[in-house]
A and B are shown apart, each in its own frame.
Chain A
Amino acid sequence: MKKILAGVDIGNSSTEVAIASVEGDHAEFLSQHLVKTTGIKGTIDNVKGIRRALQEAAKKAGIELKDIDLIRLNDAVPVIGDLAMDLISETIITESSMIGHNPDTPGGAGLGVGVTILINELFEVEEKDQDYIAVIPKSFDYEWVAQRLNQAESKGISITGAIVQKDDGVLIHNRLNKKIPIVDEVALIEKVPLLKLAAVEVALPGHVIRTLSNPYGLSTVFQLDPDQTIQIALVAKALVGNRSAVVIRTPQGEVVERKIEAGRIILIGTNNQQLEVSINDGAEAIMNTYEKLEMLDTLADVRGETGTNVGGMFNGLRHDLAELTGQLSNEITISDFLAVDAVIPTSISGAMAGELSMESGVALASMVKTDKVPVQRVASLLEKEIGIAVEVGGVEAEMAICGALTTPGTRKPIVILDMGGGSTDAAMMNKAGKITSSHLAGAGDMVTMLINSELALGDKELAEKIKKYPLGKVLSLFHMQLEDGTMLFSETPFPPYTFGKVVIREEQDLTPLSSKVSMEKIREIRRSAKRRVFVTNALRALKRVIPTGNLKHLSFVAMVGGSALDFEIPQMLTEELGKYGIVAGFANIRGTEGPRNAVATGLVLSSVRIGHEVLK
């Protein structure tokens, strides 16, 4: 008797369906489909997505929806994750003592030291033997400014540099008889202190400044004593890597790098073990403390010190999760978390030209165990809506392994690493078929968050695209440079809006990025975000499922889940796990599906109990 079976896997970000025709203990897979999960995993909002996926899969299989005899739903693991991020350092410039932005086109090159003076007061100066730095607000035209500077020079007034509000640096420089370094695009020029000793430095294109970014260069320019040199050292540090800079000597002026007291994380074990760690110590210290606790005890909950940033972060998480699960927020206990260092471009307070500094921050992903997610409700609603029998199948990890075992070349014992959007899960099946599993916070969504904030995109969808696809730089309408340096030539012209831009190379489209950040920098941020989340979590997850806790005792790992489809994550992990002598690769479900559809396939197969012998 032939039966048509459908396996449905509701994940955090996608819902997958597999349809198979089952006869006796043989299953023949007809089709599969994937849609975005509608609503939160495990809630009745999912039904809409499931129906659409089933309809599409049925159409692909050439059958009617009503031909399906039984739908098997996964028993979603009742864990839900959430993300938060906060800054732990900030930079402040006091008394407008420094301009360290990078205008596209400063004028001239070299170092000029002198007293700041407004351009229109230039001829009224008293001391003729003094050097001056001209300060030029935007109301003055470049032609007039250049003429004025030339006149001053012929009158014997020595001008050694200029600070300009408009983007006029090169225009002025081209018209000068005596060339001086010019820093332009200083938006808040009215804040520049006048009649103070200042230094202007501009480097040639492709070079960086050398004097003002060196504490001893500054001490030479301003004749500072050792104590003052220590005070000004941070100014030099802030200017490292710039093409142009201005430093103005004011009595109290300095650059302060302040640590924001972000508070402490309190880890609570089941036996009332308590460990504390300060957020300011960084992600590594936090995760080490977590590991220490795990050695003594198991994690029961995590709290943030009340009244601090981290307290706010954890309260926010608790609140979000409480809303999702319908529990009270004090009943929510955090079962796992992952802390990752992040570098976040932030505007400097007190800056005159909109400078950014790369401040450090910590991103947290956390996960809570909730009461059983009401999958049963989803099942009964689905049954009512489409009139087909629905049953809730086995444990997710078991189903995933069952599906993963259809990969050619695998056998028990096997370890799988399921990398999805919200969580990284590992499961191990030993020779006897006994399964252990672990669920950890932090996966694809966290990578997206890191990319979004480290590139200051403010656009989650764009960050998601950057995560998923490789980059290119369109050099002409017919060729582009790819990430690895090779050139791609095209028969048909690229769209005009991509001309000269760094683009995301989606399968069909090119999405131009408007940020000025170079392709190399974006690639580096993307790869480091993936490494920080997935490599860390893969190691953590695997350690938990191995009975000995030693990675060297593992030999085979199959990666499944959406993030295993990524164009570089599997390679990163293969490389990293290779260090432990582990053969790792992404699974190929049923020999055709790649790392997708493991759970849905497992759901179908587990009902006929035929292991991994699949009829094609």
Chain B
Amino acid sequence: MTTSSFSIEMKLTEIGTAVKGTNPREVIVAVAPAFGKEMNKTIMRINHASVLREILSGIEEQGAVPRVIRSLRTADLAFMAHGAAKMSGSGISIGLQSRGTAVIHQRDLDPLTNLELFPQSPLITLEMYRAIGRNAAMYALGESPNPVPVVNDEMARPKYQAAAALLYLKECQSLVPDQKPVELKAEFLIKD
């Protein structure tokens, strides 16, 4: 069975409020309020299941330990990821919005800075999500990864800006004010 001939199903189970981790090999992936729930595809209609699986695979392949949490009080990429970094045992986190925008963050940084930012969601491929997971794991393990090459397309902005804004608004409808992030258990099922 090759990668093109199967579908991946994802089951995200909420298992209580997320707590600060102690494992120094840990990388937290913070997903946005609607991720894999009210919304299930990115702006390019890539399944959230495939996106999250690639990121988690990238982390596992490097020998780090992935954890997934859902941010509820904010859908802002920087603050989601920075909050998660502060909870991560290694201080490294990945922020992931439903439309596909991603960031790698570190707890000592200012919220609006980052280690690596992937701002143009329409241009991020599954291979890049794998590489994002890999790099985050390498930062966590104290290695020096080369930044994931960011593609830039000046036409992406005019073409997708409206859709991106709508997707963000939709995401914001799932916000729960003043609610702490919840820990998620991510399971993947592969079907023919």
Interface residues of A (CB under 8 A from B): 104-105, 139-144, 167-171, 174, 473, 475-478, 493, 496-497, 499-502, 514, 516
Contacts and interface: CB of A to CB of B under 8 A. Distances in A.
Interface stretch (B11-19, B24-32, B60-68): B60-68
Given A104-B62, A105-B63, A141 B142 contact: no
B61 A167 contact: yes
B1 A144 contact: yes
B190 A143 contact: yes
Interface in B1-51: 1-4, 6
Contact of B144 (A141, A169, A501): A501
Given A139-B2, A139-B4, A499-B115, 4 more contacts: A105-B62, A168-B61, A497-B147, A516-B144
26 contacts: A139-B2, A139-B4, A140-B1, A140-B3, A141-B2, A141-B3, A141-B6, A142-B57, A167-B130, A168-B57, A169-B61, A170-B61, A170-B63, A171-B61, A473-B144, A475-B142, A476-B108, A496-B114, A497-B147, A499-B106, A499-B115, A500-B142, A500-B143, A501-B144, A514-B147, A516-B146
Which bucket holds chain B's interface residue count? 20 to 34
A177 to B, nearest CB: 18
Interface string B129-147: 0100010001100111111
B108 to A, nearest CB: 4
A174 B57 CA distance: 11
B165 interface: no
Contacts of B108: 476-478, 493
Contacts of A500: 138-139, 142-145
A171 B3 contact: no
B1 A496 contact: no
A514 B115 contact: no
Contacts of A142: 57
Contacts of B4: 139
B139 to A, nearest CB: 5
B60 A499 contact: no
A134 to B, nearest CB: 15
Nearest to A145: B1
B113 interface: yes
Contacts of A174: 60
A496 B6 contact: no
A502 B143 CA distance: 10
B169 interface: no
A478 B106 CA distance: 12
Given A141-B190, A144-B190, A499-B115, A493 B142 contact: no
Nearest to B1: A144
A280 to B, nearest CB: 36
Interface centre among A475, A496, A514 (most CB of B within 10 A): A496
